Amino acid sequence: MIEDIFREYDIRGIVGEDLNEESVKAIGFAFGMHLRHLGRERISVGYDARLSAPDMFEYLVSGLNYAGLRIFDIGLLPTPVGYFGVFTHKFDANIMITGSHNPKNYNGFKITIGTDSFFGAQLKTLGRQVAEFMASGVEIPTNTFCEKYNILGEYLDYFEKEFANLKNFKTPFVIDCANGAAGVTACKIVEKLGLNAKILFPEPDGNFPNHHPDPSEEKNLVDLKNAISENGLNLGFGFDGDADRIAVLTAKRNIKGDELACLLSLNMKEPKILGEVKCSQVMYDEINRRGKSFMGKTGHSNIKKAMKELGIDLAAEVSGHIYFKERYFGFDDGVYAMMRVLELVAKGIDLDAELDALPVMHSTDEIKFKTTDSAKFEIIEKFKNLAKNGISGLPAVRDMIEIDGVRLRFDDGWALVRASNTTPIIVTRFEAKSPEFRDEMQRVIMGALEEIAK
């Protein structure tokens, strides 16, 4: 069913199957009519390096034209540059055509109206409207008319002015653009500011010939790690396909998003910082020493909404989505996050030493339990009911947080079980004061999920 590709905070599907000429034109038309209903008509459309981007652009723009919108082609860009265009009020809305870190046969759409993400119930309603339109049998003609707009130039000018303090900063570092969209901005920023960066794989190429653009997978960081080691460096940055997510590496460690929040808070006065349910308890405790922490749902749309409601300065996801409201606009931008980390280093902050000083906890990476899109939420509900009555083999649950899935707090650690909003998996994570209790939580809870899924 076409509605199945309308996820919690974006549209994502397989090219040629879920996303084809008929469905994408219908998406453009249905969203265009929604925008016109709101009295808005100026929309920008950009795309990442996916091989299917030209076709998706043609079909989407045809649908938007059929709805009577004024369309601006902003070109091949990181998703955050699309956000920048609407947050600086150049356009009423933006659609970025991006498959992010999904396999190369996927693509999708991230939608913003004004400074608000278009997500949740709004996307579900749009999905129903698209299905109804497709059932009507109306054919949308191909019409790719649009105006070019150089939002990239304005974005780069902003960076050159905002980070003038880093001009000719000589500490060497590595950037891995992963043949994604990051090369479009990162290379020019390095050049404008005279930074001492070695840049890997800057050419956008939807075949991703060097490695897949997903920095949350260790195997995709091998080239970055080797470049750091071989050049005797201590800092490197990697990006996902549309550059809204960052990986930060030193010679010693891969710094996760929640650890980054702790580091970035060092350069902020009494910050209000939002984490998601996968973040370490250490992060929440550490932030509360310097300011105030909040816990929210995973996902860029959920986080942007919570940031507005709570007056948040910085938000972080473990996966590397970092959102700055302090000195920025409140959306996730991997390249901007890189610059804020460079500011820390320029101030003489030793990233490794600061993290070494934090309490030692033993955590897993995300552990994925494979299931189906139709079953994953049912499994979560059954697990919640199980947890409320206590889980055999584990101590009493001290606290149960149901913001996003279920996060169980024990005296000596915590466990998270939540359904992914983008893939047919259940995501788990475990953290404890000892590796033994971490492993025991993992063994028991993964076993419980296996039983529930039978």
- What total number of domains does the chain contain? 4
> Are both 311 and 429 inside the same structural domain?
no
> Are both 334 and 397 inside the same structural domain?
no
Is 158 within the bounds of a domain? no
Which CATH number goes with the domain that contains 311?
Answer: 3.40.120.10
pLDDT of residue 396: 94
pLDDT of residue 135: 97
Which CATH number goes with the domain that contains 369?
Answer: 3.30.310.50
Is 415 within the bounds of a domain? yes
* Range(s) of the domain holding residue 277: 256-359
> Are both 317 and 380 inside the same structural domain?
no
Domain end position, chosen among 329, 359, 389: 359
pLDDT of residue 299: 84
pLDDT of residue 298: 86
pLDDT of residue 9: 84
Domain end position, chosen among 215, 231, 255: 255
> Are both 83 and 117 inside the same structural domain?
yes
For strands 314-316 and 272-276, give the pairing. parallel
- Backbone phi, psi, residue 271, to 5°: -75, 150
pLDDT of residue 30: 98
Tell me whether residue 136 is exposed, middle or buried, using C-beta atoms within 10 angstroms of its C-beta: 0 to 12, 13 to 18, 19 or more.
exposed
> Are both 8 and 109 inside the same structural domain?
yes
Domain end position, chosen among 255, 287, 319: 255
pLDDT of residue 145: 98
Is 33 within the bounds of a domain? yes
Mean pLDDT for back-to-back runs of 10 residues, the chain (454 residues): 87 95 98 97 97 98 98 98 96 96 92 93 96 97 98 98 97 98 98 98 97 94 98 97 97 96 96 96 95 92 92 96 97 98 98 97 93 93 94 94 95 95 89 97 97 94
Is 25 within the bounds of a domain? yes
Per-residue HEC secondary structure of the chain comes to CHHHHECCCCEEEEECCCECHHHHHHHHHHHHHHHHHCCCCEEEEEECCCCCHHHHHHHHHHHHHHCCCEEEEEEECCHHHHHHHHHCCCCCEEEEECCCCCCCCEEEEEEEECCEECCCHHHHHHHHHHHHHHHHCCCCCCCCCCEECCHHHHHHHHHHHHCHHHCCCCCCEEEECCCCCHHHHHHHHHHHHCCCEEEECCCCCCCCCCCCCCCCCHHHHHHHHHHHHHCCCCCEEEECCCCCCEEEECCCCEECHHHHHHHHHHHCCCCEEEEECCCCHHHHHHHHHHCEEEEECCCHHHHHHHHHHHCCCEEECCCCCEEECCCCCCCECHHHHHHHHHHHHHCCCCHHHHHHCCCCCEECCCEEEECCCCCHHHHHHHHHHHHHCCCCCCCCCCEEECCCCEEEEECCEEEEEEECCCCCEEEEEEEECCHHHHHHHHHHHHHHHHHHHC
> Are both 350 and 275 inside the same structural domain?
yes
Q: Give me 174's structure tokens.
A: 């590595």
> Are both 229 and 184 inside the same structural domain?
yes
Is 99 within the bounds of a domain? yes
> Are both 203 and 62 inside the same structural domain?
no
Which sign, positive or negative, has the C-alpha torsion 291, 295, 300, 303?
negative
pLDDT of residue 421: 76
pLDDT of residue 423: 79
Cα 179 off chain centre by: 18
| Rounded CA separation 78/246 (Å) | 12
> Are both 184 and 239 inside the same structural domain?
yes
Q: Tell me the pTM.
A: 0.93
pLDDT of residue 374: 87
> Are both 188 and 208 inside the same structural domain?
yes
> Are both 78 and 119 inside the same structural domain?
yes
Which sign, positive or negative, has the C-alpha torsion 36, 39, 44, 50?
negative
> Are both 350 and 371 inside the same structural domain?
no
Catalytic residue positions, numbered: 100
pLDDT of residue 429: 96
